[in-house]
A and B are shown apart, each in its own frame.
Chain A
Amino acid sequence: MPEWFLYFVALPMAMLVVCSAVYGLYWASKKGQLQELEAGSKVIFDAEEPEGVPTDHVLNQPKVATVKKA
């Protein structure tokens, strides 16, 4: 391993990764991604799959129906 690789490639790459993380945080803050955080948790729901409706009930299906009807 030539020494220049460490100083001129590996180290700058590591610094670049660190800087990009810092920039990512700055960008997120500037774009308002860190504002109103609790509202962000609801972006996965929409009209097609609304909040409050469970998905993926595969196992024991008849039992669910019985419980709900009772």
Chain B
Amino acid sequence: MASSLTASLSPSTSSDVAKRAELSAIDASTKVPTLFFLGSSVLWLLVGTLFALISSFKMHVPGFFGDIEWLTFGRARSLHLNAVIYGWAVNASFAVAFWLMARLSRAELRHAGLLLAAAIFWNIGVSIGMVGIAIGDSTSIEWLEFPVYATPILFVAYALVGAWAVITFRFGKAEHIYVSQWYLLAALFWFPWLYSVAQIMLIFEPTRGTVQSLVNWWFAHNVLGLWFTPIGLASIYYFLPKVLGKPIHSYYLSVLGFWSLAIFYNWAGVHHLIGGPVPVWVQTAGIAASFMMVVPVIVTGLNQHLTLVGASAALKYSPTLRFIVFGGVNYTLTSLAGSLMSMRSWSEVTHFTHYTVGHAHHGMYAFFTMVMFGSIYYILPRVLLKEWPSAKLISLHFWATAIGILLYVGVMSVAGIQQGLNSNTLPLDASGQYGSPMPFLEVMAMTIQWLELRTIAGIIIAIGHVAFAINFVWILVKARPAGVTEPTLFRNAPDLEVVR
């Protein structure tokens, strides 16, 4: 399978005409980069969780690590965000994306070295960025906190992944481009655009005034919508029918969902600036686009629901399905909530409150992270040719993260609405005179109970992460059972084995 990069870039001139590869051979060919990306992602997940807990404690115990410079709230919170986004989520999404690309293209993974180099570059970049934030070099731009000296390395890593994806796609043996491939290719294409424009317009040659905030939220929201969302949906559209052994209910709807997301999402980020000093027509366009997102969201939600109908008993047996379905349902919920939040009347209550923090976690965790967990539970046994060692740990992982994140989103939403209403409402006395709104510090004090509950939710989630990490290390070190020659033997429940 060894071939030069130039041959890979132009398959028509290559003499290396591969035959349609077996799935097991494709899985095995992805082993080295998959393990590197996933191993790093789990490590960053634990680091990110630790900083999440530290930041959460600080919200109700301000003195907690208060005299350690690099653990002050501004740094700990940014370290949390960047560790979970660029460390955990991007590493995991790279692994899942190229595993899916290889499988869907029906081609063994070519140039694994390219991906391995990308993985090493990416993780060096994230490590440098994290140290940069810790020593106080953060850029102070949300979602782009990594200092300038870290980002070029990240960009090189990304370029390598992009080049690899194009090669794999061009060498594909599949005649039809499955909907997941549309999502993956689009995401791999969109991200460098977003990241490079945002870096240039915010860091290297910053724009002036409010344009900065427009670019910032165009970038930050589109990373969710044009990178994490397509990869999450690509995974759902592959694993949901694959685990059930049943095609998705309506392929037509899935394609409609893809193209409507491609058209509408890019506009929606401005809704973070409603009421801000940017032209009203820009805000209105953002609100309109946010509402148009109802189309792909409903389409995707309906499709997932109708696929699962009649086969939901499988939720009892398949870890992948549990996580994927939980993520899918929360994709629908968080996206619809997002559309509503873009309304001016809604935004004036919840904007700048804990509600937004809850919403962000609803999207990035209850949807995306849960889908990634589900995908990893499917991918790793097939790459390593051994099954997960402990079903109990998987159950613990699922229930801890599911309950934890629902509690988290719930308490943050209540806290945010309470904050918003109390800050906005002017009390009316008996004589018909309006008084002053509740003082800021009193509103703050009211939220402390919710912030404490948030920490409890965080601890529950952390327990789930530790269970996942233990199982992850365990599957890596445990011996492969004798006699297993191909992954199918452990894929299915005994009575569901395919006899050949």
Contacts and interface: CB of A to CB of B under 8 A. Distances in A.
Nearest to A31: B177
A56 B378 contact: yes
B403 to A, nearest CB: 17
A5 B92 CA distance: 34
Contacts of B262: 21
Contacts of B316: 59-60, 63
B241 A59 contact: no
B197 A10 contact: yes
A44 B178 contact: yes
B491 A56 contact: yes
Interface residues of B, number: 62
B496 A64 contact: yes
A68 B488 CA distance: 19
B273 to A, nearest CB: 18
Chain A, interface size: which category?
Answer: 35 or more
Interface stretch (B71-79, B126-134, B246-254, B335-343): B246-254
A48 B23 contact: yes
B410 interface: no
Interface in B316-331: 316-321
B318 A58 contact: yes
Given A20-B189, A38-B251, A56 B319 contact: yes
Contacts, number: 148
B146 to A, nearest CB: 20
Contacts of A57: 314, 317-318, 491-493, 496
A34 to B, nearest CB: 7
Interface in A7-36: 9-10, 13-14, 17, 20-21, 24-25, 28, 33-34
A33 B177 contact: yes
B255 interface: yes
B176 A33 contact: yes
Interface core residue of A46, A49, A50, A55 (most chain B CB under 10 Å): A55
